[in-house]
Amino acid sequence: MKTLASMKTLARLGTLSALSALTPSLAFAHSGGSHVHGLFAGLEHPLFGMDHPLAMVAVGMIGARAGGRSVVLVPLFFVSAMVAGALLGMAGIGLPSLETGIALSLVVFGVMVGLARPLPLAAAAALTALFGLFHGNAHGLEIPESVSDIAYAAGFVLGTSILHAIGALSVLKLASWPLPVRTAGIATSLVGMAMAAQTF
């Protein structure tokens, strides 16, 4: 019953994320144009590369493992901090040791997923928000000049939310078999360590 309720919550979150992400693009008076390209560019951006998809799926896993309202709040803290970091990047402000911070996020998120017991909500939210700043900042600095900033950001938030939902659903589906989830966490940490080693 609890799993069913969590899945309904995720479905609602996904629907709201999709609607909120699409709303800015609908506000334009004409169809087509840079805002459409910006939306799709933002939507696909989190899906490429290894670091961002792994981190965002892991955030969904962390929230689902913590259970209850954490399944929504942990990803929400991450996305909120990511948006703040992206705004800094759009303003031309880059965080120090950006690539190292992103690599370390994989290490930390992987450990959080791999723990025998999930972290309390406050600790999980604080850590995911901290690293959300780094991920958002990297994307804010990378926004192409040829696309609409608002549409790109909306697509990026939607893509991120989808990855969070995938992570959370995988944990809920594998609730009776926690070993694959914890193994995925360890693998994520190892990838992060390899990436961190390249930044030094």
Asked if 162 and 49 touch (Cβ cutoff 8 Å), the reply is no
The pair of structure tokens assigned to 34 is 């840079």
> What is the model's pTM?
0.78
Asked if 9 and 75 touch (Cβ cutoff 8 Å), the reply is no
143-180 burial string, b = 16+ CB within 10 Å, else e?
Answer: beeebbbbbbbbbbbbbbbbbbbebbbbbbebeeeeee
* pLDDT tens-digit profile, the chain (200 residues): 444 444 444 444 444 333 333 333 333 232 334 444 566 766 676 667 788 899 999 999 999 999 899 999 999 999 999 999 989 998 999 999 999 999 999 999 999 999 989 999 999 999 999 999 999 999 888 876 666 667 777 888 888 999 999 999 999 999 888 899 999 999 999 999 999 998 87
Longest dimension (CA), the chain: 52
Residues sharing a CB contact under 8 Å with residue 76, sequence separation 6 or more, in sequence order: none
